[in-house]
Amino acid sequence: MRQLYIGGSWTASASDGFIDVVNPATEEIVDRVPAGSPDDVEAAAGAARKAFPGWSETAASERGKLLADAAELLKQRSEEIAKTIATDMGAPLGFARKVQTLMPAGVLSSYARLAESHPRESRVGNSMVVKEPVGVVAAITPWNYPLHQIVCKVAPALAAGCTVVLKPSEVAPLAAYALAEIFAEVGLPAGVFNLVSGRGPVVGEAMAAHPEVDMVSFTGSTAAGRRVASLAAESVKRVALELGGKSANIILPDADLALAVKVGVANCFVNAGQTCSAWTRMIVHRDQYDEAVRLAVAAARGYTVGDPFDESTRIGPLVSAVQRDRVVRYINRGQEEGARLVTGGTERPHERGYYVEPTVFAGVEPGMTIEQEEIFGPVLSLIPYTSEDNAVAIANDTKYGLAGAVWAASEDRAVAVARRLRTGQVAINGGRFNPLAPFGGYKQSGVGRELGEQGLEEYLETKAMQL
């Protein structure tokens, strides 16, 4: 049973309620965290406000050293934390180790360096332009990458000189507690980082509306993001939003079809499809469509669904019964609207656990629900196109714009198409994810950027002094 971390101490919640943490592979309760209250938010925001002057004036080199020390401890404890993530959110252990734990450690290290190296002053004519920390930051994070999404917010905020109140997802909160323990151990000053667990409508909304909070950084669904932005607007807070996606994977006729389909299926199914930037729409020329469907089905059937701690597992459970039921509803909706289920479906592959088979739909037309809405599960839609312009139009015809991919025989041709996509990131011929590059979306996929220098800039205010 856990407590809250406020003002440098582990503290009992003002609420007497708790939230069960469930292992999605076994459906067993593995821990409990406090169901925090607005009073807890009040205490945490007060502690962060009290700590802000001292932390913002701390030498950048000292802030960077503390972050570097935390990154080192995170690396040392990566195996333990990966097992924690595999247990409370269901990621296969190898993925939990490499992507869910070691990648955040790398991001934390990058901000340890940027804390000191990022320029804070410049001259424009007779003006001195300075960058200063925005203040107290409320960070509200999701369950699908429970440590990475925290580090993407907390690391740049602390590097900038801000103080933080974090609300991790109550569905998979245990990695947040591991990070709080690391910050305490490296000697982060009291109140600089605070953790309040609880539910979004209670704790998250109290944070977004709190008068001592200067900025809210939120990752989650577009609907919840709109609510957070609405609450923050009452006091004109700065808001950064990383929201949903329905990313397109365009395969041009001269591309290596077999490779593009194989990598596209892998990207769609990573983390059991619980990835906002997953390429869930594979857009293939009509002349190659049947072959692409055949290749996608063959690839999907090679994904073993099972226990996250089994080395052969490639797809673990979805994070909760609610999430599994949501994905099942979308699979049923796809069939009702006339899409053709070519592999997978709604049958449960195991008696216990929130599992869904990797699923592929053919015969998907633009405008179908499964082509437009974020499913957040291992479900791939294949859509045919007739021309390059048609492919770009299909890719851009959603309310989202987070990520995507383009495959072509030449990089120049792929880049030319990528420039036409209204989306925040595009992989060219399978280019790997770069955690130092800015990440964020167009349209209803969000506001602002995370990672890299642009991620740090989100937590800085600009002041001009005319000399």
- The catalytic residues are 242, 276
Pairing mode of beta strands 163-167, 136-140? parallel
- Residues 388 and 255: their CA atoms lie apart, in Å, by 13
Partners of residue 259 on adjacent β-strands: none
Side chain identity, residue 144: N
- Helix axes 174-186 and 78-88, enclosed angle (nearest 10): 150
Quick one: DSSP state of residue 42? H
Could you write out the DSSP letters of every residue in 53-112? HHHHTS-HHHHHHHHHHHHHHHHHTHHHHHHHHHHHT---HHHHHIIIIIHHHHHHHHHH
Phi, psi for 401 (deg, rounded to 5): -165, 60
Side chain identity, residue 145: Y
A 10 A CB-CB count for 206 gives: 25
Could you write out the DSSP letters of every residue in 213-255? --EEEEES-HHHHHHHHHHHHTTT-EEEEE-----EEEE-TTS
Task: Enter the tokens of residue 99.
Answer: 């992507």
- Residues 349 and 357: their CA atoms lie apart, in Å, by 7
A 10 A CB-CB count for 431 gives: 13
- Residues 25 and 140: their CA atoms lie apart, in Å, by 25
A 10 A CB-CB count for 211 gives: 10
What are the residues whose beta carbons fall under 8 Å from the beta carbon of 403, sequence distance 6 or more? 245, 247, 276, 277, 278, 279, 423, 424, 425, 426, 427, 441
The counts of H helices and E strands in the chain are 16, 20
Pairing mode of beta strands 127-133, 121-124? antiparallel
Task: Enter the tokens of residue 100.
Answer: 């869910």
- Residues 235 and 247: their CA atoms lie apart, in Å, by 33
A 10 A CB-CB count for 293 gives: 22
